[in-house]
Structure 1
Amino acid sequence: MNLSKQKKQHNLKFHHKTRILLLSELVFAAFFISIVYVTFIAYPSQNDQVKIGSTYMTMNNSFFPVLNEQIANYVEDHHDRLYNRDPALIVNKQVEELHAFIRQGVDAIIINPVDGNSMKIQNALRLAKKRGIKIIVVDSQMKSARYADCTILSDNYRAGQLCAQHLLRHKRSAQILLLEHYSAYSANNRIKGFTDTIKNSSQSQNFHIVDKINTYGQSEITFPLVERALKKGPKFNTIMALNDQAAVGALAAIDEVKLKRQIDVYSVDGSENMKKLLGVNHNAIATSAQTPLNMGKTAVKIAYKLIAGKKVPKKIILPVYLITNKNINHYNVLGWQ
């Protein structure tokens, strides 16, 4: 083989290797660019993430985990970050959580206050507001709405009204025990809606509040208190509970003492537990249903609008409706609405 032919073959091999090398470099470059896209665009850096803190008076109430799940899903879909905390009905613990959110540099706080009257919580929200953090209050309210950008509530007053209207339609008289949570504005509004409706009725002289118990809206607290009231307190034949958890505790107490007479139990929430009891426990009469699903979705969308600098309503009231032992078959008893 002559020298010219060898040189030509050598050049062909060189160019072939060069093309392969170039192609490899292009493939690697494309792969690197895709990694960069996924890392820095599809999944933003921590500094670019929206950060939201959520704290509710207690997570020992299925209403709040369901509400928070809607927020968590939305935040995750946007590749942002949610910090959720549980103060377990302790004001000082919720105050600590608020200060932790501030240190973590959250963009918004979604809060259900342990105590709407607490100056400690109010002062923590004031500091958060001063740092530019957006404040969304859910399912209750603060005594002063000064630091809340938006308050989202079920129509709590209407919820109490619905229970009272049902009672007035179905009984000619009643001796009523109220199960309350004195420091929760939402609970107070429910009870006020109930008592105002009774008081303003033409039948009011036949309906009497015989006692009140502060249950904190917890089944385990309600149970022994109602059991004691059944054994030693003034006689009653109707219970109005601030929420389903208190109602469930009251129903358990009635069963525990093996009471033979009827005690009509009303409440507010529309939780899975209460809806199941409406179908089988003759003392369970009705619950004014609210929807943590809608509340959570509304709260997180409001938070993102506020963070984006958009205007939102100062207060949003979500509708409620009455579920009774007569219409329960028209509703899904598995979970919340």
Structure 2
Amino acid sequence: MNLPKPKKQHRKNQNPYTRILLGIELLFAAFFILLVYLVFIVNPSQNKQTKIGSTYMTMNNSFYPVLNEQIANYIDNRHGRLYNRDPALIVDKQVQELNSFINQGVNAIIINPVDGNSIKIQEALHKAKTKGIKVIVVDSQMKSDRYVDCTILSDNYRAGQLCAEHLLRSRKSATILLLEHYSAYSANNRIQGFTDTLKKSPNHRNFHVVGKINTYGQSEITLPLVEKALKNGAKFNTIMALNDQAAVGALAAIDEVGVKRQIDVYSVDGSENMKKLLGVNHNAIASSAQTPINMGKTAVRVAYKLIAGKRVPPKIILPVYLITNKNINHYNVLGWQ
């Protein structure tokens, strides 16, 4: 038996309100697609993750991990990405890191150069600039700032001055050993501030630099070199170290050799290790304190401003102050300031 086929329902018999609702839905869908297009296509910066590369002469110095932590926190809070590398005081390795940042397509590079005189580093920064990458130098400087957007420093010259001024108040004469890092501009500025202040003193003839050692600012390098100098009979009663790491190595060498005479040790940083020795080790006298926390926060904010096309000063100098074995109780010895 053949059953009659059901009649097809023609669209013209549909409820007119259904067709109106369908039209409204299509209109909203088109509007949403257009909105997505405007946000993610027309304005790509909203869809692009900010990427920054950071490289410091060495991470074997608590100053730089603390500085970098401030940068990392700021970037993480803005859902960006940080590439951090450690050249371990090797110029060629830092150049490789810079090229890696360029290949990663970073928006900015924050660098503490292994050697501010290095042509290789300068060429790598030039390459970065041709790619539109912003360059921020921290805690030191390049010989030429041609390819640098901003240099952020502690007042290194003043740091050396503060140590010299304290020495002049404390002693009527001194024979001085300088612990240096020849290729680091920041270190050279500290030592220059120290020696210039002594030379300008009315009693400058009573203060003599009797030796210099290139320590690279590392405790493990400083210790045996100062120990050797002491065993060889070097006559000095004062040490001016470019940083706390070198100072700590020198203090360890003095203890190792068993020197009985007073040797005043000055330095720059205000690190946890040096602050713990001030007031405990009679040879530890003072450290001009800088703050990696402020430097890191300043550097990353400058980087984001530059990426956004805003203008920033070509150089930013951060203040320093002297922590001594007499005022150490006024400062927190746990960590950096």
TM-score (norm 2): 0.86
Rounded to whole Å, the distance in 2 between the matches of 1:46 and 1:215 is 47
Q: Which residue of 1 aligns with 2:100?
A: 100
| Match status 1:309 vs 2:309 | yes
Q: Which amino acid aligns with 2:63?
A: F
Q: Which residue of 1 aligns with 2:84?
A: 84
Q: Which residue of 1 aligns with 2:272?
A: 272
Long gaps (5+) in structure 1:
1-35
Q: Which residue of 2 aligns with 1:147?
A: 147
Q: Which amino acid aligns with 1:270?
A: G
Q: Which residue of 1 aligns with 2:28?
A: none
For these two proteins, the number of residue pairs brought into alignment is 296
Displacement, 1:195? Answer: 0.2
Rounded to whole Å, the distance in 2 between the matches of 1:78 and 1:205 is 56
Q: Which residue of 2 aligns with 1:288?
A: 288
| Per-residue CA distance 1:227-250 (angstroms, 9 max, x = gap) | 001111530000000000000000
TM-score (norm 1): 0.86
Q: Which amino acid aligns with 2:303?
A: A
| Match status 1:50 vs 2:50 | yes
Q: Secondary structure at the match of 1:143?
A: coil
| Per-residue CA distance 1:278-300 (angstroms, 9 max, x = gap) | 02000000000000000000000
RMSD over aligned Cα atoms: 1.4
Q: Which residue of 2 aligns with 1:181?
A: 181
Displacement, 1:59? Answer: 0.1
| Per-residue CA distance 1:10-43 (angstroms, 9 max, x = gap) | xxxxxxxxxxxxxxxxxxxxxxxxxx9xxx9xxx
| Per-residue CA distance 1:104-134 (angstroms, 9 max, x = gap) | 0000000000000000000000000010000
Q: Which residue of 2 aligns with 1:245?
A: 245
Q: Which amino acid aligns with 1:168?
A: L
Displacement, 1:48? Answer: 1.1
Q: Which residue of 2 aligns with 1:194?
A: 194
| Match status 1:109 vs 2:109 | yes
Q: Secondary structure at the match of 2:278?
A: helix
**Counterparts in 2 of 1:142 and 1:127: CA distance versus 1, 3 Å:** same
Rounded to whole Å, the distance in 1 between the matches of 2:120 and 2:47 is 30
Rounded to whole Å, the distance in 1 between the matches of 2:234 and 2:281 is 23
| Per-residue CA distance 1:112-169 (angstroms, 9 max, x = gap) | 0000000000000000001000000000000001111000000000000000000000
| Match status 1:333 vs 2:333 | yes
Q: Which residue of 2 aligns with 1:298?
A: 298
Q: Secondary structure at the match of 1:299?
A: helix
Rounded to whole Å, the distance in 2 between the matches of 1:270 and 1:147 is 31
Q: Secondary structure at the match of 2:326?
A: coil
Rounded to whole Å, the distance in 2 between the matches of 1:292 and 1:241 is 18
Rounded to whole Å, the distance in 2 between the matches of 1:66 and 1:223 is 24
Q: Which amino acid aligns with 2:142?
A: M
- Structure 1 runs of 4+ aligned residues shifted over 3 Å read 44-47
Displacement, 1:45? Answer: 11
Q: Which residue of 1 aligns with 2:70?
A: 70
Q: Secondary structure at the match of 2:279?
A: helix
Displacement, 1:87? Answer: 0.1
Rounded to whole Å, the distance in 2 between the matches of 1:131 and 1:185 is 27
Q: Which amino acid aligns with 1:261?
A: R
Q: Which amino acid aligns with 2:302?
A: I
Rounded to whole Å, the distance in 2 between the matches of 1:307 and 1:45 is 11
Rounded to whole Å, the distance in 2 between the matches of 1:202 and 1:59 is 41
Q: Secondary structure at the match of 1:279?
A: coil
Rounded to whole Å, the distance in 1 between the matches of 2:99 and 2:218 is 27
Rounded to whole Å, the distance in 2 between the matches of 1:319 and 1:276 is 22
Q: Which residue of 1 aligns with 2:235?
A: 235
Q: Secondary structure at the match of 1:239?
A: strand
1:166-177 to 2 correspondences below 5 Å = 166-177=166-177
Q: Which residue of 2 aligns with 1:22?
A: none
Q: Which amino acid aligns with 2:241?
A: A
**Counterparts in 2 of 1:46 and 1:80: CA distance versus 1, 3 Å:** farther
Rounded to whole Å, the distance in 2 between the matches of 1:174 and 1:126 is 45
1:198-217 to 2 correspondences below 5 Å = 198-217=198-217
Displacement, 1:47? Answer: 6.1
Rounded to whole Å, the distance in 2 between the matches of 1:267 and 1:217 is 11
Q: Which residue of 2 aligns with 1:18?
A: none
